[in-house]
Amino acid sequence: MGEKILFDHKELDLSLNRLCWQLIENHCGFENTVLIGMQPRGYFLAQRIQERLLELTSVKEISLGSLDITFFRDDFRRRDEPVVANQTDINFLVEGKNVIFIDDVLYTGRSIRAGMDAINSFGRPQQIELLVLIDRRFSRELPIEPNYVGKTVDAIDTEKVLVEWSNTNNKNDLVRLIRE
- Taking the complex as a whole, the smallest distance from the CB of residue 78 to another protein amounts, in Å, to 6
Beta bridge partners of 101: 36, 130
Decide if residue 82 touches another protein (CB under 8 A).
yes
Decide if residue 84 touches another protein (CB under 8 A).
yes
- Taking the complex as a whole, the smallest distance from the CB of residue 34 to another protein amounts, in Å, to 15
Decide if residue 43 touches another protein (CB under 8 A).
no
Q: How far apart are CA 52 and CA 112, in angstroms?
A: 24
Distance of CA 142 to the CA centre of its chain: 17
Q: What does the per-residue mask of binding to another protein show for 97-136, with x meaning CB under 8 A?
A: --------------------xx-xxxx-------------
Q: Is the dihedral of CA 90, 68, 115, 177 positive or negative?
A: positive
- Residue count of the chain, please give it: 180
The smaller minimum CB distance to another protein, of residues 15 and 123, is found at 123
Q: Which stretch binds another protein (CB under 8 A): 83-91, 128-136, 139-147, 149-157?
A: 83-91
- Which of 23, 35, 66, 68 is the binder for another protein (CB under 8 A)? 68
Q: How far apart are CA 45 and CA 163, in angstroms?
A: 10
Q: Which stretch binds another protein (CB under 8 A): 51-59, 65-73, 105-113, 140-148?
A: 65-73
The smaller minimum CB distance to another protein, of residues 56 and 83, is found at 83
Decide if residue 81 touches another protein (CB under 8 A).
yes
Identify which of 106, 133, 164 has the alpha carbon closest to the alpha carbon of residue 52: 133
Residues that bind another protein in the complex, under the rule CB under 8 A:
68, 70-73, 76-78, 81-88, 93, 117-118, 120-123
